[in-house]
Chains A and B, each alone.
Chain A
Amino acid sequence: MVQVSRHDIVIVGGGGAGLRAAIAAAEANPDLSIALVSKVYPMRSHTVSAEGGAAAIARDDDNEELHGFDTVKGSDFLGDQDVIEYFVENAPRELALLENWGCPWSRNEDGSVSTRAFGGMSTKRTWYATDKVGFHMLHALFQHSLRFDNIVRYDEFFVTKLLVEDGRCQGVAALEIRTGEFHAILGRSVILATGGAGKIFPFTTNGTIKTGDGMALAYQAGVALKDMEFVQYHPTGLPGTGILITEAARGEGGYLRNNKDERFLVDYDYGVGDKAELGPRDMVSRAIIQEFEAGRGFEGRYGKYCVVDLRHLGEKHIDAKLPFVRELAKIYIGVDPVHEYIPIRPVVHYMMGGVDTDINAATELPGLFAAGEVACASLNGANRLGSNSLTECLVFGAVAGRNAIEFAQGAGEGNSSALVSQAEEEAARVEALRGNGRGNEKIAGLRHEMNSTMEAGCGVYRMQESMQIAATETRSIRKRAADLHLKDSSRVFNTEIVSALELQNMVELAEVLAVSAAHRKESRGAHTCRDYPTRDDQSFLYHTLAHRTDDGPRLGRKEVKLGHWEPQERKY
């Protein structure tokens, strides 16, 4: 038996983008009902872990041309310039709204909002609340959302399928984790805001919930994933755990050093010019790997590492601007950055790719919208600039919320019985998995195999051969993931079945990622091939699209929206 509920729009995901979409929709029309469905309580969403800041023009020395060009250049000219222009224009308004809603932005003496420097940004335009920006933004959004009676939350519901009928998306099928019951949550439009998929990789800043569920839902519904080969390695994660040491550590003046105590971004030519530690993430991550290869890395129990040096900033400045960095370093690696170096290595942080969306946050499937990391609006192209993504959640979350409402108001109720019977079929599929007691594959074992395959094939530096191997292996892992062995047959809060469904989502995406990567025979942004070391605009200045088939992704192309910024060599 499937429980049926009906709303005007259904939002999947309760992090920065999902909450912003919900608030935009709730404000647009208080008479409409908005379902906010999330596999965790909204304040647990991974937005909470973002540290350094959110970008938007704030100072007199800044303007839209500068923020726009920084973003285009950071994207290695794969960003869509219409989206980038819209983004930089609307970013300040969105961050000001967050201020109005209570976000405790750090302040200047005159009471205005303070900004800090960030990688690849030509001036101080990163708004911050010390170094817990995602935490404060998420809590401000969630708390503000509580004032709207027309936002109806489904906390700890795991969405397993998009319900599509008459060629449009009209709801979701979801497992209520606490009871084990299945639901058809119907709406006249649906927004995906489920975040990225860092857990495909072994070393990531991402929390365990970042399993790419929304990307997989869209892909399985026939919607294209775009530019999935572009994976951002953050230069500074803690070895072992992958816990993020924010780029703000460098924004506030921290240095990166090798085992010779050199500031290698200054002493060697890595193309970042006088930006030094404030170079863009893709370039700084490559520099660290090259330091390792040149024998200038430290050796530790989790492999090679370099270090962040904050000592010269002094205790007072560190405590004022980077208290969380100090706390994390002490707890998770046992060093106090006031006196000691913080060991770091590049670690998977963010997916530039995702569900193919446009400037309206719309997908190719009518009634389906997406925003935040799950989406690829092509704001970030081949490499995202630090602090653009929190703002992206707000700008395009709001766009998605407004456009989903508009779509819903123009759409009919649809055929409920057809939708419910789809949900019933889905319930039966998922139920067959619960405690199945057969199957030959262990969840954790297959997850480790997927992780090491992706690390070997789709790391910071890639080779044609290693990507091909990853593509072949991930295809086999995807097929094997249909044969999982589950032992927990209980109904209530069965996290084994959730892990199984998450893994099935991730293996689909791992394959798309590897296949997309293998096809792009050039180096652009975060996608760096040793055997094709230069950017090739002649052959590859386009977005990669991937549509699902049972035999693996079918690749296609989408034009990059150029504008007044002509592609040029990317040098800092």
Chain B
Amino acid sequence: MAESKKMLRVEISRFDPDRDEVPKTQEYEIPVQDDWKVLDAINYIKDEVDPSISHRWSCRMAVCGSCGMMLNGEPKLTCKTPLSDYDETIKIEPLANFPIVRDLVVDMDGFMDKFRKVKPWIVRAKARAEDMEDLNEKGTFSQSPDQLATFKQFSMCINCLLCYAACPVIANEPEFIGPAAIALGHRYNLDSRDEGQAERNSIFRGEGTVFSCSFANECSEVCPKNVDPAAAVNQAKLAAVVDWAKGLVLPREGA
């Protein structure tokens, strides 16, 4: 690694609630390596230049979902984004549409509440595995590859929150439950093992959920895992309406 190093100007948004009224920008000029990701640059600054920068990261392989930030105004996973995508300057800020805790760290409490609201678990009339019916002799449900394929894509969300940072609805309506939570609820609705569709559809028909979506499709464009939450929102919307209509015809099955 002896080859000459390119210099890069990195602008990092700094905020400490005990000292600052509003975030300010701090600039660093650092040597970078051509195979670095943006996260490597932040870690270099933290290790070698300024240990007071706070950011979240862990797996550095785009699966733990910790290191989402705004890079030149776009939400990205920093461990996945090559530094070579940026010439001379890169501006790094915390994810948009979230309260800032400190520097590049955002407050996830609201998201965690929304996440739980869609009942992201297998709902069965008899909840304990011991009491579940339809299990085979090995104790598992039968599920064909086709049945698996109907929801698999929506199970790939790493909760990185990029879609919330991109969503124009959240920007104006922070209580909107948001793309990842809807995709997750929809994922369970599509799972052949689940019996919770009526409950979740009733949640989806409530305020600030699927019908708040304005079809901007930004969420799917920024998703680093190709979950396509916008498709999930569309499908969930339709399912919620159909479910409601069925409820009118067959009241006992409705929500």
Mask for B135-157, Cβ within 8 A of A = 1, else 0? 11011111111011001100110
Query: Is B197 in the interface zone, CB < 8 Å from A?
Result: no
B140 touches A44 (CB 8 A): no
Q: Is A549 an interface residue (CB 8 A)?
A: no
Check if A568 is an interface residue, CB within 8 A of chain B.
no
The reply to whether B140 and A113 contact each other, CB–CB distance below 8 Å, is yes
Establish whether residues B145 and A44, one from each chain, have CB atoms under 8 Å apart when the complex forms. no
B108 contact set on A, CB distance < 8 A: 41
Q: Which residues of A contact B119 (CB under 8 A)?
A: 147
Q: A209 near B58 (CB under 8 angstroms)?
A: yes
B209 an interface residue at 8 Å Cβ cutoff?
A: no
Residues from chain A with a CB closer than 8 A to the CB of B156 are 132
| A534 within 8 A of partner (CB) | no
| Docked pose: A45 CA to B63 CA in angstroms | 10
A48-B64, A443-B51, A444-B47 are known contacts. Are A100 and B135 too (CB-CB below 8 A)?
Answer: yes
* A485 closest partner in B (C-beta): B51
Which of A388-396, A474-482, A493-501, A504-512 lies at the binding interface?
A: A493-501
Residues of A within 8 A of B55 (CB): 495
Q: CB < 8 Å: which of B35, B59, B115, B158 contacts A240?
A: B35
Binary interface encoding of chain A residues 103-117 relative to chain B, with 1 for a CB under 8 A from any of its CBs, else 0 = 011111111110000
- The smallest C-beta distance from A353 to any residue of chain B, in angstroms, reads 22
Within 8 A of B (CB), among A107-134: 107-113, 132
Within 8 Å by CB of B16, from A101, A102, A492, A495, lies A492
Give A301 to B1 CA distance when docked, in angstroms. Answer: 6
Shortest beta-carbon distance from A238 to chain B in Å: 9
Asked if A492 contacts B101 (CB within 8 A), the reply is yes
Q: Which of B1, B140, B188 contacts A100 (CB 8 A)?
A: B140
Q: Which B residues lie within 8 Å of A48 (CB)? A: 59, 63-65, 158
Total CB contacts across the A-B interface at under 8 A: 165
Which residue in A46, A331, A492 is a CB contact (below 8 Å) of B18? A492
Q: A93-B139, A100-B129, A113-B140 are in contact. Are A143 and B120 (CB under 8 A)?
A: yes
Chain B 116-131 interface residues, beta-carbon cutoff 8 Å to A: 116, 119-122, 127-129
A43 beta carbon closer than 8 Å to chain B: yes
- Asked if B21 lies at the interface with its beta carbon under 8 angstroms from chain A, I say no
B57 within 8 Å of A (CB atoms): yes
* B138 near A58: Cβ-Cβ < 8 Å: yes
Contacts of B17 in A (CB 8 A): 492
Q: In the complex, how many angstroms separate the beta carbon of A208 from the nearest chain B beta carbon? A: 5
Chain A residues with CB under 8 A of B135: 96, 100
Q: CA of A347 to CA of B112 in the docked complex: distance in angstroms? A: 35
B64–A112 touching, CB < 8 Å: no
In contact, A493 and B148 (Cβ under 8 angstroms): no
1/0 per position for A28-64, CB-CB distance to B under 8 A?
Answer: 0000000000001101111011000000001000000
Query: Measured between C-beta atoms, what is the minimum distance from B144 to chain A in Å?
Result: 5
Tell me which of A43, A301, A493 contacts B159 (CB under 8 A).
A43
Q: Known interface pairs A104-B152, A496-B52. Does A49 touch B61 (Cβ–Cβ under 8 Å)?
A: yes
Known pairs A243-B61, A301-B1; A490 contacts B193 (CB<8 A): no
List 14 A-B residue pairs with CB atoms under 8 Å apart, sorted by A's residue number.
Answer: A44-B58, A48-B158, A49-B61, A112-B138, A135-B158, A208-B57, A302-B1, A328-B62, A331-B80, A444-B48, A490-B19, A492-B101, A492-B102, A493-B54
9 nearest A-B pairs in the assembled complex, by CB-CB distance: A111-B142, A96-B139, A444-B47, A493-B102, A488-B52, A207-B58, A207-B59, A143-B120, A100-B129
